[in-house]
Amino acid sequence: MVDLKPRPAVYSLKEVVSSTSIGGVGRYSTQFSNRKPFPFVVIDNFFKHEIASCLANEIDSLGDDDYRVSFRSLAQRKLQIGNIGGVVPHLLPFYEALMSPEFTHFVGQVTGYRELSADRQFTGAGLHRYKTTVSVKFILIPIVTLSTRGYIIA
């Protein structure tokens, strides 16, 4: 298993994402454009297995107190870490790979959206934990265009 704590300054996209994901742009683009009424694509096994396992372990090890923002209402209870570098700095290189120009280019090829940019201010991006009867954890990275806001959920 890969240990994320002794990390490089930045992971390259190819170190994080499986080669089948990166190589499937045409297939994913077709799936995306054919979904109605709302286009979306599901990319199974997106991350390299060892990276996904490590990330899952790291995320599972976080307690509720590690999440600095809390949204509570009748409809949801969500916890968020927007300051990845301050709270879980060893995960920041992973986020940097998913906010890289290479990744936004990949998303642009899949979606057909041009002029994409990553949410480097973490205004909605970050590590989120939703509390329901089952705890669901995932990473949410908004990708912003001038006219739409899309989300990458991993």
The tally of domains found in the chain comes to 1
Distance CA 129, CA 124 (A): 13
Here the CATH number for the domain that contains residue 139 is 2.60.120.620
Q: Is residue 113 part of a domain?
A: yes
Residues counted in the chain: 154
Q: Are strands 77-81 and 69-72 parallel, antiparallel or unpaired?
A: antiparallel
76-104: average pLDDT: 81
pLDDT at 141: 52
CA distances from 121 to 18, 41, 50, 53, 99 (A): 27, 25, 28, 27, 11
106-152 pLDDT, tens per residue? 988 998 887 787 777 666 667 777 765 444 445 545 555 544 555 55
Residue at 105 is within a domain: yes
- What mean pLDDT is predicted for residues 30-41? 88
Domain that holds residue 35: 13-153
pTM (predicted TM-score):
0.73
At 133 the pLDDT is 46
* Nearest to 67, CA basis, from 53, 86, 54: 86
